[in-house]
Amino acid sequence: MNLFNRKEWEDKIKDPCWYDAVPNILDEMAALRLNDFEQSLKLKNAVYTFFEEKLKEGEVALGANGKKWNQERKPIDTIVIHHTKSSERLSKERLSAIELIRLYAPTYAKRGKKEPIYSDHNREGKQVFYPYHWIIRSNGEAERLLLDHEIGWHAGNWDINCRSVAICIDDNHEDSMPDKANLRSIARLIREQYPLVSKDRIFGHREINPKTTCPSNYFLDAPEQRGWKNALLEMI
């Protein structure tokens, strides 16, 4: 079964409104996830690999300009913690491709304005679609993705996006706690870069968007289980 027709999509991505076909792919991913999880993973990998390659090659039709999303940026008063849910190191290029498909394409399809996607985030002459401001690597290194004046599309809540910084652990912590090195790295980053953000404005993604378990099922307190949010706050 051919889950993703690369040749067909090589033609589609030349059209500035190629994103109109993405919701159908996302629906197919969701349906497969319920009925055939292995096939859903194959489809996701095929789609993300294709767009990662085509973004590198500059073959995806994108806008040279467009809505100035970053003009809606507000003073930073909130921090949101995420995880990539990936068991392997997630490259910046892969992350950009994933979020182009998961966030930007559906948003532009819903807007219905028939204009090419424009992220308002550029690196070395190319658009990027990073949702996070920082990513914490497995060795504890804090890698900058977005600048503080840029809005990350990460929370599922536009007001929170406009006023927050997103910090993401590059690992899968769905049912585990990050190691102390990762927590110390996040705490140090917050102390040094965002000392004016109060502890009561530090959230896990799941506290903003109840549809997700990110950054972990163990982020918050549970019966007989002390959530790792508490450990993080104590380190700040």
Residues 6 or more apart whose CB falls under 8 angstroms from that of 57 comprise none
Displacement of CA 133 from its chain's centroid (Å)? 10
Q: Residue 226: its pLDDT value, please?
A: 73
Residues 6 or more apart whose CB falls under 8 angstroms from that of 186 comprise 81, 136, 142, 167, 169, 232, 235
Q: Check pLDDT > 60 for residue 223.
A: no
Region of poorest pLDDT, from 4-8, 145-149, 193-197: 4-8
Q: Walk me through the domains of the chain, giving residue ranges and CATH numbers.
A: 6-64+74-235 (3.40.80.10)
Q: Residue 222: its pLDDT value, please?
A: 66
* pLDDT > 90 in the chain, percent: 85
Write phi, then psi, for 165 (nearest 5 degrees): -110, 135
Q: What is the pLDDT of residues 64-119, one digit of tens each?
A: 999 999 999 999 999 999 999 998 899 999 999 999 999 999 999 999 889 999 99
Q: How far is CA 82 from CA 61, 112, 152, 166, 176, in A?
A: 29, 30, 12, 7, 13
Residues 6 or more apart whose CB falls under 8 angstroms from that of 138 comprise 89, 170, 171, 182
Mean pLDDT of 153-157: 97
Joined tokens for residue 138? 């497995």
Q: Check pLDDT > 90 for residue 33.
A: no
